Structure 1
Amino acid sequence: MKKGLQLLLLTLILPLVLTTGSALAATPETNSGNADQVESIAAIKKRGKLVIGTAADYPPYEFSVKEHGVNKRVGIDIDLGKQIAKDLGVKAEFKVMNFDSLLVALETHKVDMVIAAMSPTPERAKSVDFSKVYYGDSQYIVINKSDKAKYKHLSDFKGHVIGAQNGSEQYDIAKQQVKGAKLKGLDRVNNLIIALQSHKVDGVVMDSTRAKAFVANNAKLTTLDPHFKISGQQGTAVAVAKNSPELVAAVNKTITKLQKHNTFDKEYVPRAGKYMSQGAKQNTMWNYWNYFAKGVGYTIIIAVCSALFGIILGLLLALMRRSANLVLHGLAVAYIEFIRGTPMMVQIMFVYFGIGAIIQSMPAVIAGIIAISINSGAYVAEIIRSGIQAVSAGQVEASRSLGMSKRLTMRYVVLPQAVRNIWPALGNEFITLLKDSSLASVIGVTELMYQTQLVQSATYKGVLPLGVAMLIYFILTFTLTRLLNFGERKLNRPRQA
């Protein structure tokens, strides 16, 4: 029994050791020299694909549309990425995640480059290299049309709330130049527009191309050009890992060719505008049912797998915590307290970018399942422990007096009664897992919340897609509740002699 517990202990702590080691290993790899980066171009060509990080929620640069019943990513940045890959003789693979996670993904080598309407600011240039600017842009403020007479200059926003996307150049500009205003940052521009229309913010700072796209598709919005003072290069550029002169040169060669033939204004921008108009015409929720269906599928997969692994891990931790072995007991307590004391979103990102620095081929969905399972295991352990403690000590003593070993007593006497006692609490944990799967969207897992955000981008509707997502989550949780209640009735049904 003792050897078995020690083996299980090693199984539990191995992921933590790997995660810690990956954090240490990522530093020298990220700061590698030119020789390593020369080899990276050869590696890109050898594997036959260029992995590009993007946000896919920023028309006309990168967004998703439905064409002939098929979901596809389109926009200026998508076209540019495909052309860069073509010039390198490989295929383009786009990895979508939140904008403020893109540079982390680049530094941990989850992607080869980032093309996401990113401005080459001096602060970002300290950690990554940038190509030349491929498309110039100024900065606007989007406001409600009903407030057009109220806001004409930057000084008019004093004492009001201004919004900008987290991690963006617009956020820094607003922080520095909109004096006296309260700055509110959100991960997605769509959420900022929802906040604007619900008067949670009074204006949203974004680039002029994006701002004009929103105004063209929403009659209740308008733009304001406050003539921001921009230092350095103004426009968008491609980001690559630090000390990558060969890759930067290859990207610049493609950009120069496209700019020479005016491809951006002649082809890429009009094509993006065409897709945006198409999305505006097909912006009913029914046209995007397959987005929601795909999200539901991934949500269920994440919830089921995380629940299964969480129960296994939780049972092991509960037994370890009840063990007379002080080492096993201490490790279980430390694990449970640490996991319960840190946010799940942080754990998801740490697993993906931490372990992912070593296992670079790890899919985002696997990282999400691992992180959510690790988190769930800590809570399930306490639920199981409380159930075991609720079983009368007299029953344990009676079982031992009949000659049953500790293992048999736990298996046939204690655990069956504990499961009956903790079933409602486990049910709550399963329902929580189903909803918490939405946190995996931060690393690009295409679950329900992630797909909802894509629908928001494609339709320029903020609240309605959220309403559909809420209804779907309710249907899922209500169905699960009915199943759990059925299981509870089966457990509590008295056995016939």
Structure 2
Amino acid sequence: MSLRFFLLAVICFATVAARAQGVVDRIRARGELVISTDATYPPFETMKDEEIQGFDVDVANALAAALKVKVRWINQEWAGVLGSLESGKADLVMAGTTITEERKGKGYVFSRPYFLSGQAIARRKGDSRIEGPETLKDKIVSVQQETTGQFAVDKIGVPKDRQLRFDTVQDGLADVVNKRSDACVGDLPTIQAILREGYPEIEIVGPVFVKENLGIIAWKGNEELISQVNRVLARMLVDGSYKKAYDKWVGVPFTSADVAELEAQKDAGTKVPVATEDATSQPIQAVLADRGSSAFAFRGDLFRQALPLLAKGAVLTLELTGLSLVFGVAGGLILALGRLSPLPFFRPFIVAYVEVVRGTPLLMQIYVIYFVLPAIGINLPSFVAGVLALSLNAAAYSSEIFRGGIESIDSGQMEAARSLGMSHRLAMRWVILPQTIRRVLPPLTNEAVALLK
């Protein structure tokens, strides 16, 4: 019994000691610094040859070298980037993120500004209707969702029903090219980097209308890590490595005026202790206090705030499902009848359509209808494009359900109907299809559930 108590005490002591270890010590112990990002945001980070490249990568490598560890990137959509800090999956977020008091209040700890940015407006070349932020209020504006670009558009006074929100800035710019949106609002360096690679139809109008400071983020309780980040950033500004990365990825020279402005804004981040070369462990009380709070605490106020949006989204989902199911089932029946028709002319086209649609991802089909059709002059509203894409997809799957159901009816049924003098069309209408409907209802129900999802 005494041995059991001794082992339990050793385990408890080891657990407490591990928790008391500072965040920098933990990173060094595992040998890697985990950074979350959304690699669709040049010049900060972008995917090339299956690797993440950009300004943030060079900064991260300098930080990892100072900590004597390697970098491991987690690339995901922007909607999940900040959440990876709360869940503990990442140590830092580097994604060209703006320092705001609201984000600080939610528990995010920011480094000193490492990049000066701002919101800019992109329009189609020669569109004189758009000259500045005050001219956007009655226009259709595209933004990347849940970014300071969206918040800037909200602050201008653009109604929410005139905002088109996308996962990436590139999609927003493509929407301007396709003439669905009148303008796109986003970070100036990102828009400049994208325009250098393409979109010759787009131009930036005016200077930035909202100045912003970008920072590197950690979760609350990890101020020690941000202290090390600040130390490395300050050293990069002095030894010239920052300028080298800036000139390489931003495409314009980094001047002494930029250095002075970064120094003037250095207190815009979270106030943290000044770091030394070798970080010391946190006091055990601070670590245990931080561990005692859950990052997944239920927020009733946020739930109540989100409830109307969730209800609106549920209604929209049901509308899309209902319309797409009606058109898809009707289209599927027509395709099945055409494929089984005695007339052979349409069969190759129907077979090709069904195989292509069933063999390609639905998301790709939606992208083609929404982004590619405008390039040939076919512009559809967002809701119509969604219904069309889902209906065409459902029609291909439903056609195979109907074809299987029709072919499952004994051939003698058709022969008997024809012997009574019915035409093929009448026999199909009054004899075959009524029996088929009863047999295809279960698989059609499965298709409806898949469409809803």
Structure 1 length-normalised TM:
0.47
Give the equivalent residue in structure 1 for 2:209: 228
2:109 to 116, 123, 129: 129
Instruction: Return the alpha-carbon distance in structure 2 between the equivalents of residues 77 and 493 of structure 1.
Output: 67
Give the equivalent residue in structure 2 for 1:61: 44
Residue 226 of structure 2 aligns to which amino acid in structure 1? V
Q: Report if the CA contact (8 A) 2:35-2:73 is conserved.
A: yes
Give the equivalent residue in structure 2 for 1:94: 73
Q: Report if the CA contact (8 A) 2:119-2:152 is conserved.
A: no
Instruction: Return the alpha-carbon distance in structure 2 between the equivalents of residues 153 and 342 of structure 1.
Output: 32
Q: Report if the CA contact (8 A) 1:117-1:237 is conserved.
A: yes
Instruction: Return the alpha-carbon distance in structure 1 between the equivalents of residues 408 and 29 of structure 2.
Output: 57
Residue 193 of structure 1 aligns to which amino acid in structure 2? L
Q: CA deviation at 1:146?
A: 2.9
Q: CA deviation at 1:185?
A: 2.0
SS of equivalent to 1:236: strand
Tell me the percent identity. Answer: 21
Give the equivalent residue in structure 1 for 2:52: 73
Q: CA deviation at 1:268?
A: 4.2
Give the equivalent residue in structure 2 for 1:201: 181
Instruction: Return the alpha-carbon distance in structure 2 between the equivalents of residues 481 and 154 of structure 1.
Output: 48
Instruction: Return the alpha-carbon distance in structure 2 between the equivalents of residues 37 and 481 of structure 1.
Output: 60
Instruction: Return the alpha-carbon distance in structure 2 between the equivalents of residues 108 and 342 of structure 1.
Output: 28
Structure 2 length-normalised TM:
0.51
Instruction: Return the alpha-carbon distance in structure 2 between the equivalents of residues 343 and 229 of structure 1.
Output: 31
Instruction: Return the alpha-carbon distance in structure 1 between the equivalents of residues 134 and 249 of structure 2.
Output: 37
> Is residue 44 of structure 1 aligned with residue 27 of structure 2?
yes
Give the equivalent residue in structure 2 for 1:267: 245
Distance 1:153 1:42, change over 3 A: same
Q: Report if the CA contact (8 A) 2:111-2:230 is conserved.
A: yes
SS of equivalent to 1:260: helix
2:194 to 214, 228, 232: 214
Q: CA deviation at 1:171?
A: 1.2
Distance 1:265 1:143, change over 3 A: farther
Q: Report if the CA contact (8 A) 2:172-2:184 is conserved.
A: yes
Count of matched residue positions in the alignment of Structure 1 and Structure 2: 273
1:252 to 221, 226, 230: 230
Give the equivalent residue in structure 1 for 2:335: none
Q: Report if the CA contact (8 A) 2:35-2:91 is conserved.
A: yes
Instruction: Return the alpha-carbon distance in structure 1 between the equivalents of residues 156 and 149 of structure 2.
Output: 10
Instruction: Return the alpha-carbon distance in structure 2 between the equivalents of residues 258 and 37 of structure 1.
Output: 30
Q: CA deviation at 1:213?
A: 1.8
SS of equivalent to 1:219: coil
Distance 1:53 1:37, change over 3 A: farther
Distance 1:76 1:38, change over 3 A: farther
Q: Report if the CA contact (8 A) 1:54-1:94 is conserved.
A: yes
> Is residue 238 of structure 1 aligned with residue 216 of structure 2?
yes
- Structure 2: tracts of 5 or more residues without a match: 1-17, 253-310, 315-353, 377-389, 412-453
Residue 224 of structure 1 aligns to which amino acid in structure 2? V
1:142 to 116, 122, 146: 122
Q: Report if the CA contact (8 A) 1:154-1:226 is conserved.
A: no
Instruction: Return the alpha-carbon distance in structure 1 between the equivalents of residues 142 and 242 of structure 2.
Output: 29
Instruction: Return the alpha-carbon distance in structure 2 between the equivalents of residues 184 and 479 of structure 1.
Output: 30
Deviations 1:312-350 (A, max 9, x none): xxxxxxxxxxxxxxxxxxxxxxxxxxxxx9999xxxxxx
Q: Which has the higher helix share?
A: 1
Structure with the greater alpha carbon radius of gyration: 2
> Is residue 158 of structure 1 aligned with residue 169 of structure 2?
no
Distance 1:491 1:98, change over 3 A: same
- Structure 1: tracts of 5 or more residues without a match: 1-34, 275-340, 345-427, 439-447, 454-461, 468-472
Instruction: Return the alpha-carbon distance in structure 1 between the equivalents of residues 97 and 226 of structure 2.
Output: 15
Structural RMSD (CA): 4.1
